[in-house]
Amino acid sequence: MKVEMTQQSRLKDIDFNNLPFGKNMSDHMLVCHFKNGAWQEPEIRPYGQLEFSYGLHALHYGQSAFEGMKAYRKDNGAVSMFRPLDNFARLNKSAERLMIPQIPEHVFMEGLSKLLELDQAWIPKTEDHSLYIRPFVFASSEFIAARQSDDYTFCIITSPVGPYYNGSVKVKIEQEFSRAASGGIGYTKAAGNYGGAFYPTSKAIEEGYNQVIWTDHKEHKYIEESGTMNLMLLVDGVFLTPPLTDRILAGVTRRSIIQLIKDQGWPLEERPITVEELVMAAREGKLQEAFGMGTAAVVSQIDTIGYNGENFSIPVPENGKAMDIKKLLTDIRMGRSEDCYGWMMDLPISSK
Ligand SMILES: Cc1ncc(COP(=O)(O)O)c(C=O)c1O
């Protein structure tokens, strides 16, 4: 792997006590081009500008996918990634559906490790802070014809981040727009899935909510996801979450939390949940907690659910199950409890 180090680190300009999400990119990035039918030698270089013409295929046809994951500074100073192979596998699943060539594991994993080693001073040491990692791949031929690209570019950029959401959120059950349809690309992290979600989300924000709860595209009868997070409910002492379909992104956080819930011996059902059931539970006070699960916020408690113009308050207990789960996960990530699942991958580097 070629490595070109930055001549001037930007680290001293960063206020680690005030980190807007995803704005401050670390000094270096990984870049690997797919050309003439093969992935070329990856290189690490200073974070910088794109070098493509305006015919860049991805800009026109959206053949592009990304990942979101985090590296942590454990209490003992070690730098550790959370389930990076899960994100690698999901990126290639997205790539397959989007006709993007499979990214070799060594390009992803060795590139990531080297990048973190070089930029380890960018990994925050403060509680609830981490280094957000954004691998992405895009069609990089320069022609405008609606067929798949010949060339592709895979990159990894990173950004130190603090907590994603401030406090609990108010969500609206979406009854008009859809995020995904059966047979479509909802289960991938295709860039276009996010571009298509901004409009309905901004409508919900205009109405005083923070996010939407997506429902099925056919009847808006079943709940699916909460914004860019998977959804978990606690109804009458039972955890409920919708089952994975090709319309839902299989969250790494969701998978981890399901495991943790099961291992606490708490009852959990992965099954279709109707809007009616959710609204009824909220109305009758049986909905004890509701939260989103995702890399960015880990656990994001929901305090209000809006449906048909009616708002239902949901308890957001400080010592409830959502916070218990967040602590279980945080303790594993920070090395405070035993990682009996083998989720953490420590970097073999000296801590700085
Ligand atoms: C649509 C959507 N659902 C769910 C998730 C949660 O996935 P993960 O836990 O892997 O971050 C994300 C975030 O990546 C997302 O964008």
Task: Read off the DSSP letter of residue 103.
Answer: P
Residues 278-291 have pLDDT tens digits of: 999 999 999 999 99
6-50 residue pLDDT tens: 999 999 999 999 999 999 999 999 999 999 999 999 999 999 999
Among 48, 13, 4, 49, CA closest to 122? 13
Task: Tell me how far the alpha carbon of residue 78 lies from the centroid of ligand 1, in angstroms.
Answer: 26
pLDDT for 308 equals 95
Nearest CA residue ID for atom 4, ligand 1? 229
Distant-in-sequence, close-in-space partners of 312: CB < 8 Å, separation ≥ 6:
279, 282, 283, 287, 304, 305, 306
Q: Residue 321 to residues 255, 257, 326: CA-CA distances in angstroms?
A: 17, 11, 8
List the chain domain ranges. 2-161, 169-333
Give the pLDDT score at 165: 60
Which pLDDT belongs to residue 167?
Answer: 79
- Check: pTM over 0.75? Answer yes or no: yes
Kindly state if the Cβ of 83 falls inside 6 Å of ligand 1: no
Sign of CA dihedral 175, 176, 177, 178: positive
Ligand 1: atom nearest CA of 296 is: 11
CA dist., res. 120 & res. 104, Å (int): 24
**pLDDT value of residue 126:** 87
Mutate which of 230, 246, 329 for ligand 1 pocket (most atoms within 8 A of beta carbon): 230
Helix (H, G, I), strand (E, B) or coil at 128: coil
Which ligand 1 atom is nearest residue 87's CA?
A: 10
The CATH number for 169-333, chosen from 3.20.10.10, 3.90.1530.10, 1.10.10.10, 3.30.390.50, is 3.20.10.10
pLDDT value of residue 163 = 78
Q: How confident is the prediction along the chain (352 residues), in pLDDT tens digits per residue?
A: 999 999 999 999 999 999 999 999 999 999 999 999 999 999 999 999 999 999 999 999 999 999 999 999 999 999 999 999 999 999 999 999 999 999 999 999 999 999 999 999 999 988 889 999 999 999 999 999 999 999 999 999 999 999 776 678 999 999 999 999 999 999 999 999 999 999 999 999 999 999 999 999 999 999 999 999 999 999 999 999 999 999 999 999 999 999 999 999 999 999 999 999 999 999 999 999 999 999 988 999 999 999 999 999 999 999 999 999 999 999 999 999 999 999 999 998 654 5
Domain 2-161, CATH = 3.30.470.10
Cα–Cα distance, 314 to 280 (Å, whole number): 12
Index of the ligand 1 atom closest to the CA of residue 179: 1
How many whole angstroms from 36 Cα to the centroid of ligand 1? Answer: 33
Q: Whose CA is nearest to atom 15 of ligand 1?
A: 228
